[in-house]
Structures are given as structure tokens and as C-alpha cells.
């Protein structure tokens, strides 16, 4: 085999240099070798209206949208299933674990008051993971079906730019293909940011990928990073019995987008569930050379060092664009200091027919943001116009209670010097929340002090992830708090808390 493939490399070199290529007689080789040669040799570039690099949320949505518009589309994805990080090892499997562990935790701690007596409850970790995989499998196969329905070709492999219009693909099954695209969309997503000094093995030192696949409940877990991913995954294993300690450099959990009042309330609620927090704390070093992992921490501004022992350490300090091996240097595409590909307002790079969407460029690393960009980018290609309102992109944390927000928070408004009003309404005063025995949290509105226009909506409480859609729609249409308050909301529903919070902002709530 080595002797067979050496001449193939030489042939490619001759082709690139323009030197004459010696005649080649396939009949000189046995049939099996002949087949191997054909698999290994790159075919002539195949023309496409659109090539999408990446089959994650941004990529597959772009491919389907373009297919619906009648474009000839190829989507390059190396993973064995479509859907990228979100569907395979991120959003979807984590929500399965969050939902099912919440049910388990509720049965253990919250059924007696409801008149439900349960004995002998235990968690079957293997079945928990099987339920997760069933959800993932169904959704990823659904995308594959949609590709076929919309005539999108899935090219299974890794793509790299050969020139401004050509993408060479190393096929998963062996060999190469070259695709030539009139338009190209890069949607390669992101990867977990590693922590210096700790080796990710997805067993002792894990990212979110390892956090959804642990085979047993650790006794002690340290989460480095108090953002959404760290809190969600920490919450899963805390419910199952792990002693979870969250170490966060900032003075609040949830990341910079979460409203400070909401973050403080959420931390108290999670602490009641057993999670521990070390805020304003930095990790100075870690040692994973023994059976357990030792994490050294100290105050963010400096101080006495402390050592934390853990069976498992979850590194959740954020994500970074995944662009390795794409051959951007071959065509001169530019990245910023954070590795994000530089684009204009129409998602175009310096090469106009090459566009970038999703996690590998600017903006929040959210699946729904990536979807919106995918639709807009294809519309720019097919119609000449597209639109995404980045001021109306919701965020959700799927702990219990859930946390959701859209628009600006108080800290941002204060920094900008905007005069605003605040209105809140607690779920403890909501009739449906009371009947559900799930009354923790509140809805908070922020509005312009003069015009009453809604500037931000923040929710911590039951069903927050669904309820925030109403806030996003209101923000998109430039609604006022009075617009929301004068809209009839069904009774009894949790959404009445949303209506009453709007009333509290421009006038007074009725039930509180």
C-alpha cells in the first residue's frame, strides 16, 4: 500500500507544478488496489450554488434554507451525525439531563406536600443516559431527513479552503473531494476553552461534553466558571448527590449579561438546593496527576490561597471559535484577537461571496442566534436583504428555577446614563404558581422613563424559558409596558405574572 500511494502524491505534486503527468494504466494494478486508488484521488471540483462548512445549528439551518430556495447545496460535516455541538453534546442532551434530574429531585424532596408518597426511589444512571441519547438520536436523524427533503447534499468530511471558491474535503471514509462554490458559508462553531495546567480527559477533568456522559455520580465536583453552562451542569450532578462548588472570578453568577438582582436571587435559590459558591475567586493552578484533582484558588484581588479537592473538575470558562485546519491563510481571511472571523453587517468577509455565521464570529454564542444568522445570510444571497435584531436575542439558563432575559439589564442602562423605570411581580402572588407549589422568583421589567418603551425583561422562576418569548416579541415590536399590561392573559397562568410586572412598571400591579 505504501508503494501504491507514493506515486499518487507525486502525481498531485506534478499537477500543482504544471509538469507533465506520466500516463497511468489502471489495468496494471489488481482490482482491489485500483479501487483504493480511485477512493484516494481527489476528483475535479464540483460546482455548487452554496457550500456550507459545518453541520451544526448555524450550518444545517443555512443549508436547509438555501435548499428551500432552490439552490444546489452541499454541507460539509465531519461528525457522524448532524446538529453540531448543540444537538449532540450541548443544548439538547443537557436539557434531557436537567429535566429528568429535576423530576428525580422533586420526587425526593417535593412530593409529600402534594399528597404523593413515594418509597424506594433511586436513579439509574445508565437509563438516564439512554433517555438522553434517544432524544439526541431522534433529532439528529430528523435533520438528516430534512437534508434529503430539501435536496441538500451532506459531504461527510473535513473541509479546507484551497482557493477563494474551492473547498477540499478529506472524506471520513477515505479519499478526497473538491467542491467549488459560487457562495460559501463558514459555520464551524466553537469549542470549550481549556484551562491552563489541566489536561482535559473528559473523565476527571471535563468540559460540558464530559459532563453529560459521566458514568457515576462524583462525590465532589468543582466547577470552574459560574456562567450558564457551569451552573446547569453543576445543578444536574448536585441533584444526584454530588457536593458541587462553583468557583467564579466575577462578583456574580450567570455571566455579565444576567441582571445583578436576578443573579443574586438565583444564587440564593441554588444554594438552598445544596450548591456552594466562591465568587470573586480565581483559580491559580491545578494538579490532576493523582486519583483526585487539586485546585488552588485565592481571592480575585489576591489573598490567602486555598486548595479544593475534587473527584471531577468541570472546566466551564467559556468557549472559543473553532477554525483550526480550515485553510484561512490560503485565502487571507482575517480573525480578531479572540479568534473570531471578521465580517461586515451582511456576514461577508473581505471576500464578498464568503460569509460567516454562528459561534465562529461576533455575538453571543447561542444556538438561536446562530439560526437567525443562518436565515439572514441565505436571504442576503438569494434576495439581497436579511435582518437580525441583536437587541432582541433572549438568553435562558435551564436550572430550576429557570432564568431568562432579553434586552438590557440595569447595570447596562446605568452605564449608558439612560433614565428608566423598574417594575417587578413575584410568582408567590401568582395563582397558578401557588397551585403548582412552585412560587420562587419574579418577573422584572425595565422601561424608558419617558416613553414607557420596554428596554429589558428579566425572569427567574417557573417556565421562564418559555415566558421570555413574549418579552422578546414585545421588544422586537417596540412595545410599551402598557401595551403588554392591556393585553389579556389567560387565567390562571404563570404568564399573568408577566402582565402584572408590566403593570407595575407603568402603573400598579393588581395582585401585589
Active site residues: 491
Residues in the chain: 512
The answer to whether 314 is a known ligand-binding residue is no
Q: Is 406 in contact with 258 (CB distance < 8 Å)?
A: no
**Sequential DSSP letters for 80-149:** SSSBHHHHHHSHHHHHHHHHHHHHHHHHHHSSGGGT----S----HHHHHHHHHHHHHHHHHHHHHHHHH
- Residue 288 C-alpha cell reads as 490532576
The answer to whether 324 is a known ligand-binding residue is no
The answer to whether 367 is a known ligand-binding residue is yes
**Sequential DSSP letters for 301-368:** T----EEEEESEEEE-S-EEE--TTS-GGGTT--B-TTSPBP--TTSB-SSTTEEE-GGGSSS---HH
Pairing of β 312-315 and β 205-206: parallel
The answer to whether 366 is a known ligand-binding residue is yes
Q: Which residues pair with 166 in a beta bridge?
A: 180
The answer to whether 225 is a known ligand-binding residue is yes
**What separation in angstroms does the CA of 153 have from each of 80, 179, 207?**
15, 12, 32
The answer to whether 227 is a known ligand-binding residue is yes
Look-up of cell digits 483504493: 36
The answer to whether 232 is a known ligand-binding residue is yes
Pairing of β 402-407 and β 454-461: antiparallel
Measured from the Cβ of residue 255, the count of other Cβ atoms closer than 10 Å reads 20
The answer to whether 40 is a known ligand-binding residue is no
The answer to whether 111 is a known ligand-binding residue is no
The answer to whether 190 is a known ligand-binding residue is yes
The answer to whether 290 is a known ligand-binding residue is no
User: Of 295, 265, 301, whose CA–CA distance to 283 is shortest?
Assistant: 295
The answer to whether 317 is a known ligand-binding residue is no
The answer to whether 189 is a known ligand-binding residue is yes
The answer to whether 102 is a known ligand-binding residue is no
Residue positions in the annotated binding site for FAD?
Answer: 95, 159, 188-190, 359, 365-368
Residue positions in the annotated binding site for NAD(+)?
Answer: 225-232, 248, 318
Residue positions in the annotated binding site?
Answer: 95, 159, 188-190, 225-232, 248, 318, 359, 365-368
Amino acid at each position: 500500500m505504501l508503494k501504491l500511494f507514493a506515486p499518487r502524491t507525486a502525481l498531485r505534486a506534478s499537477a500543482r507544478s504544471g509538469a507533465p503527468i506520466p500516463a497511468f494504466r489502471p489495468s496494471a494494478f489488481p482490482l482491489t488496489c485500483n479501487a483504493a486508488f480511485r477512493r484516494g484521488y481527489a476528483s475535479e471540483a464540483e460546482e455548487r450554488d452554496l457550500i456550507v462548512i459545518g453541520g451544526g445549528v448555524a450550518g444545517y439551518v443555512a443549508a436547509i434554507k438555501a435548499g428551500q430556495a432552490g439552490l444546489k447545496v452541499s454541507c460539509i460535516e465531519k461528525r457522524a451525525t448532524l446538529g453540531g455541538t448543540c444537538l449532540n453534546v450541548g443544548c439538547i442532551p443537557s436539557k434531557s439531563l436537567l429535566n429528568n434530574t429535576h423530576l428525580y429531585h422533586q420526587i425526593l424532596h417535593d412530593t409529600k406536600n402534594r399528597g404523593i408518597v413515594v418509597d424506594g426511589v433511586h436513579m439509574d444512571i445508565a437509563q438516564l443516559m439512554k433517555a438522553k441519547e434517544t432524544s439526541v438520536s431522534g433529532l439528529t436523524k430528523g435533520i438528516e431527513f430534512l437534508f434529503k427533503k430539501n435536496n441538500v447534499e451532506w459531504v461527510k468530511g473535513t473541509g479546507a479552503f484551497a482557493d477563494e471558491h474551492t473547498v477540499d474535503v478529506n472524506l471520513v471514509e477515505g479519499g478526497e473531494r473538491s467542491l467549488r462554490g459560487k457562495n460559501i458559508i463558514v459555520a464551524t462553531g466553537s469549542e470549550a476553552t481549556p484551562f491552563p495546567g489541566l489536561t482535559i480527559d473528559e473523565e476527571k477533568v471535563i468540559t460540558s461534553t464530559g459532563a453529560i456522559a459521566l458514568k457515576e455520580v462524583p462525590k465532589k465536583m468543582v466547577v470552574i466558571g459560574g456562567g450558564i453552562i457551569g451552573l446547569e451542569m453543576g445543578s444536574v450532578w448536585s441533584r444526584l448527590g454530588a457536593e458541587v462548588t462553583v468557583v467564579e472570578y466575577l462578583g456574580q453568577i450567570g455571566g455579565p449579561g444576567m441582571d445583578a438582582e436576578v443573579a443574586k436571587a438565583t444564587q440564593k435559590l441554588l444554594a438552598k438546593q445544596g450548591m456552594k459558591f466562591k465568587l470573586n475567586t480565581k483559580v491559580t493552578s491545578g494538579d490532576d496527576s493523582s486519583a483526585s484533582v487539586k485546585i488552588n484558588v485565592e481571592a480575585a484581588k489576591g489573598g490567602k490561597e486555598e486548595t479544593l479537592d475534587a473527584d471531577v473538575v468541570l472546566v466551564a470558562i467559556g468557549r472559543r471559535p473553532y477554525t483550526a485546519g480550515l485553510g484561512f491563510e490560503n485565502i487571507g481571511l482575517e480573525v480578531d484577537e479572540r479568534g473570531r472571523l471578521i465580517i461586515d453587517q451582511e456576514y461577508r468577509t473581505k471576500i464578498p461571496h464568503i460569509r460567516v455565521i454562528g459561534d465562529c464570529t461576533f455575538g453571543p454564542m447561542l444556538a438561536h442566534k446562530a439560526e437567525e444568522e443562518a436565515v439572514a445570510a441565505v436571504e442576503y444571497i438569494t434576495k439581497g436583504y436579511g435582518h437580525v435584531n441583536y437587541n432582541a436575542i433572549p438568553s435562558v439558563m435551564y436550572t430550576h428555577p429557570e432564568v431568562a432575559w432579553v434586552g438590557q439589564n440595569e447595570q447596562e442602562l446605568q452605564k449608558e446614563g439612560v433614565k428608566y423605570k423598574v417594575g417587578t411581580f413575584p410568582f408567590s402572588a401568582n395563582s397558578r404558581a401557588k397551585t403548582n407549589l412552585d412560587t420562587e422568583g419574579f418577573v422584572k421589567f425595565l422601561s424608558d422613563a419617558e416613553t414607557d418603551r420596554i428596554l429589558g425583561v428579566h425572569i427567574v422562576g417557573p417556565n421562564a424559558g418559555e415566558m421570555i418569548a413574549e418579552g422578546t416579541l414585545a421588544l422586537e415590536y417596540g412595545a410599551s409596558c402598557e401595551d403588554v399590561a392591556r393585553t389579556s392573559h389567560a387565567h390562571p397562568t404563570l404568564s399573568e405574572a408577566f402582565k402584572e410586572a408590566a403593570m407595575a412598571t407603568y402603573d400598579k400591579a393588581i395582585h401585589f
